[in-house]
Amino acid sequence: MADASPIGIFIAGVLTLGIFSFLYKDNPVYKVCEAIFIGVSAAYWAVEYFYSALYKKFWLGVIPPEGSGADPDMWLWGGAILGVLMLCRMIPKINWLSRWPLAFIVGATAGLYMMTFFVSNAMNQIASTMQPLIQDTFLATLGSFTVAIGTVTGLIYFFFSKEHKGIFGGAAKVGIWFLMVTFGASFGYTVMSRMSLLIGRLDFLFSSWATNFGQMF
């Protein structure tokens, strides 16, 4: 906030307090701050997309600036055509055309990620599980066994074709225990990181904003 103007710091502090007021209950101040937040962010992202997608990516891609040495990228017209088809939603007679870009996005996404996820989440996960179990120290050995048992039982939990009964059910129960312990650790870790965000915000309020407030009034 070193380069922010005094008025900017003042507004940032007031808006922060306004959002914090939601902790008490919904109130007019929060509503105003919320509306400003939504309005400003929606406008910001609209401009950002216009600049980065339409101008920087498309316009400069199909008509490269003189002297850049780049060739026009005709593939970008494909994206542009799909974008225009999306706009057909606003014309009732041909609004069905907007389904084509949707189908393209969903189909391409599924196809592209199928291999990526299969390699990273299945093949490499299995290869990584087949590691030496007996290590140099007791703790390392315990860790290896924990990872192996956790992976196998966790996978058993996610079987949908078999009732969780008997040995299978016991293994699934161990699997969900592993998941819950992991969630607990992750919860604590994330809460701590959120606390640091809160401290950062309070630091802003009590140092930059309070000092600025004192100087302004």
Partner 1 sequence: MTLTRTANSDDRMQRRQRYKNAHTRSSSIALALTLLCGLMSPVGALAQDEQPVDSAAIAPPPAPAVNVHAEDTPNDKGKSATITWELSPDDTSRGIIDGYVVLRSESPSGPFVDTVGKATIGKTESLDNGAIDGVEYFYRVDAYRFEIDADGNQTFVASPSVVWGPTTTKAQWFNKKLGVMLFIFLIVAFSILQFITQAKTGKSNLWMANILFIILLGFFYSWVMAIIAAITMVLFLKDFYSGSEIFLRKIAGIEAVEEAIGRATEMGKKIFFIPGIQDMNDVQTIAGMAILGRVAQVAAEYETWLEVPVSKSMVMVTAQETMKDAYSRAGRPDMFQEAQVHFVTEDQFGYAAALDGMFVREKPATIFFMGAFFAESLILAETGNEVGAIQIAGTAMPSQLPFFVAACDYTLLGEELFAASAYLSREPRQLGSLKGQDVGKALFLVAMVLGLIVVLLGEVVDLPSWLYLQQYFKVD
- Closer residue to partner 1 (CB): 113 or 206: 113
What minimum distance in Å lies between the beta carbon of 74 and partner 1?
Answer: 21
Tell me the C-alpha to C-alpha distance, in Å, between residue 36 and each of 119, 129, 137, 198: 44, 50, 57, 21
Compare residues 53 and 216 and give the one whose CB is closer to partner 1: 53
Rounded CA separation 101/80 (Å) = 10
| Other C-beta atoms lying within 10 Å of the C-beta of residue 178 | 19
**Closest to 87 in 3D by CA, of 70, 101, 73:** 101
Please give the structure tokens belonging to residue 26: 């919904």
Distance CA 18, CA 147 (A): 46
Smallest gap from residue 122 Cβ to partner 1 (A): 6
Q: Which is nearer to partner 1, 55 or 187 (CB)?
A: 187
Q: Pick the closer one to partner 1 by CB: 12 or 212.
A: 12
Closer residue to partner 1, CB minimum distance, 64 or 205: 205
Least distance to partner 1, CB of residue 106, Å: 6
| Residue 139: CB minimum distance to partner 1, A | 17
Coil vs helix vs strand at 136? coil
CB proximity list for 101: less than 8 A, separation 6 or greater: 82, 83, 85, 86
Q: How far is the CB of 65 from partner 1 (least distance, A)?
A: 27
Helix (H) or strand (E) segment spanning residue 188: helix 166-203
* C-beta closer to partner 1: residue 4 or 133: 133
- 22 CB neighbour count, 10 Å cutoff: 14
Q: Which residues contribute to the site for partner 1 (CB under 8 A)?
A: 19, 22, 25-26, 30-31, 33-34, 37-38, 40-42, 44-45, 49, 86, 89, 98-99, 102, 105-106, 108-110, 113, 117-119, 122-124, 126-127, 129-134, 148, 151-152, 155-156, 158-164, 179-180, 182-184, 186-187, 190, 194
Contact at 8 Å (CB) between 62 and 77? yes
Residue 18 CB, shortest distance to partner 1, in Å, is 10
